[in-house]
Amino acid sequence: MINVFIESEAGSTQGHKYDAQTLQLRRSFTAAAPYPFPYGFVVGTRSEDGKGLDCYILTSQPLRSGSRVEAEPIGVIEFTEDGQADHKILAALPAEHVEIDKHLQAAFRTYTQAFFSKTPGKRYEIGQFLGAAEATALVTKYSTHG
């Protein structure tokens, strides 16, 4: 299980960025596309971009910005932003079964294209969708807890 801090709510174009250490709100912004799922970061991690490891909670339950939830890592999206790895963990709430199928993968690709459509010069690339073992290994790799 991982602890995920929710920054932005599903269905909203209101994005938020919180400090990964203090959990204080740093800034808010309007995203070019609504978040398809609650989005935040895995608490106690620091990825290659110096921020908490990005995470989407694949659920239809409303999770509010500023809340924390326990979730099970079920996959990872290989993602590169401006030449730097910025992978995204996909997680599910306990007792919820979620399949990372071709429809979900296509939806993420469409969402990402729309999300970055209003950011000129931003380069991004979506690689493979990997499974739970790779997601858990990534969380362990970026854990700040020794």
pLDDT digits (tens, 9 = 90+) for 91-116: 999 989 999 999 999 999 999 888 88
pLDDT at 115: 85
Question: Which amino acid appears at position 9 of this protein?
Answer: E
- The answer to whether 53 and 125 have CB atoms below 8 angstroms apart is no
For the chain, what are the domain ranges?
2-141
| Tokens coding 101 | 């199928």
Q: 30, 15 in Cβ contact below 8 A?
A: yes
Q: What pLDDT, on the 0 to 100 scale, is given for residue 146?
A: 55
Predicted pLDDT at 48:
82
* H or E element at residue 140: helix 132-141
CA-CA distance, 125 to 43, in Å (whole number)? 25
Q: Which pTM does this prediction carry?
A: 0.93
Q: Report d(CA 125, CA 135) in Å as an integer.
A: 18
Q: Provide the pLDDT confidence category of residue 9 given band limits of 50, 70 and 90.
A: very high
pLDDT band of 123, cuts 50, 70, 90:
confident
CATH code of the domain occupying 2-141? 3.90.80.10
